[in-house]
């Protein structure tokens, strides 16, 4: 699967005062609640299995565009979003991601696409809607979905089925006791890994990390030859069993294309601290940049090793109070 999410940042800052921005009248601020993780296509039975399996995870939502492109979203409020006023608490200040600062709110795609469950821009899918699409197209039997339904028919039929409204509470822990995660203990029921599966190459890449890490449940998993976006979630066991029993009785969570089990089939991972990811959180990004060497064009000349990153994180941990004091 070729992923289109890249590290390219080339827009200029067009941010304006909050009261003058269209964002000030946008509720519930979809761009701050739906983090795009990757893009997919539905062309094979394996694609269908992966989309269905993803839809069994809490906070994962699928979106279908008219072009036939599927987007995998992580649906949680950005930690800087004031859910009462729908205002960004760091709007216009240095800590705000350049991705947010450069977004043209006057040409916003999110607002029309997410303002209702039935529109011309996007159709949101959960597992039931995905299974209805399969039923309408008989995709698993024929292996063919393109042009079997036109866009208007998909909107009409799928939108009749309400989206699942039950949602997991925003209470998943995002930290790790030792700030590491062993490769062999990848827990496919809890952790998903998303591209780009590569090391950053420019200063601007750190802004993508800063943007993504602003969403609770998102961490950066770092090995010496690969950096990946890690989503901390939980599989809905009821949905998973219902889907597996009907379609793929031998299905396991590790069979999903974004589990470490599948990722490790295509890529070999190396870490100086042993077979472990170093888990980086938002509060580590600026310090991580300081120990990264850049050239005069902001290209990265040298990244710190996992050993150096782990030492950095440990050095920044707050000291525990002395109980004997």
Tens-digit pLDDT profile for residues 274-288: 999 999 999 999 999
Look at 109-123, 145-159, 164-178, 240-254 and tell me which has the smallest mean pLDDT.
164-178
Long-range contacts of 288-291 (CB under 8 A, 24+ apart): 288/206, 288/312, 289/203, 289/206
pTM for the whole structure: 0.88
**Of the candidates 218, 200, 202, 191, the residue with the CA atom closest to the CA atom of residue 282:** 218
Is the model's pLDDT at 323 over the cut of 60?
no
Burial bucket for residue 162 (CB in 10 Å: 0-12, 13-18, 19+): exposed
Percentage of the chain surpassing pLDDT 70? 84
Partners of 41 in beta bridges: 69
Q: State the chain's mean pLDDT as an integer.
A: 85
Q: Residue 132: phi, psi to the nearest 5?
A: -65, -40
Sequential DSSP letters for 221-256: EEETTEEEEEEE--B-HHHHHHHHHHH-TT--GGGS
Q: Two tokens at 113?
A: 């696409």
Of the candidates 81, 76, 156, 86, the residue with the CA atom closest to the CA atom of residue 119: 156
Which pLDDT tens digit goes with each residue over 200-244? 999 999 999 999 999 999 999 999 999 999 999 999 999 999 999
């Amino acid at each position: 699967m070729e992923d289109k999410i890249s590290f390219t940042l080339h827009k200029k800052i067009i941010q304006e005062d909050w009261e003058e921005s269209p964002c000030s009248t946008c509720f519930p601020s979809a761009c701050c609640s739906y983090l795009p993780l990757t893009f997919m296509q539905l062309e094979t039975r394996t694609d269908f299995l992966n989309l269905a399996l993803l839809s069994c995870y809490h906070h994962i939502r699928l979106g279908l565009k008219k072009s036939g492109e599927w987007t995998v979203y992580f649906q949680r409020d950005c930690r800087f979003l004031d859910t009462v006023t729908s205002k960004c608490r760091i709007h216009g200040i240095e800590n705000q991601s350049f991705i947010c600062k450069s977004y043209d709110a006057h040409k916003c795609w999110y607002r029309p696409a997410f303002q209702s469950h039935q529109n011309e821009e996007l159709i949101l899918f959960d597992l039931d809607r995905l299974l209805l699409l399969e039923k309408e197209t008989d995709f698993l039997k024929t292996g063919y979905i393109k042009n079997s339904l036109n866009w208007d028919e998909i909107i009409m039929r799928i939108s009749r089925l309400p989206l699942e409204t039950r949602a997991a509470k925003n209470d998943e822990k995002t930290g790790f006791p030792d700030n590491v995660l062993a490769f062999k203990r990848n827990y496919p029921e809890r952790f998903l890994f998303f591209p780009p599966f590569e090391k950053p190459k420019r200063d601007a890449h750190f802004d993508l990390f800063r943007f993504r890490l602003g969403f609770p449940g998102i961490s950066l998993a770092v090995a010496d030859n690969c950096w990946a976006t890690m989503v901390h979630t939980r599989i809905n066991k009821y949905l998973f069993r219902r889907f597996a029993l009907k379609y793929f009785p031998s299905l396991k969570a590790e069979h999903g294309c974004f589990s470490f089990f599948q990722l490790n089939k295509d890529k070999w991972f190396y870490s100086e601290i042993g077979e472990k990811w170093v888990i980086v959180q938002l509060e580590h990004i600026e310090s991580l940049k300081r120990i990264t060497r850049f050239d005069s064009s902001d290209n990265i000349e040298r990244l710190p090793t996992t050993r150096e990153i782990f030492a950095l994180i440990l050095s920044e941990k707050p000291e525990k109070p002395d109980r004997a004091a």
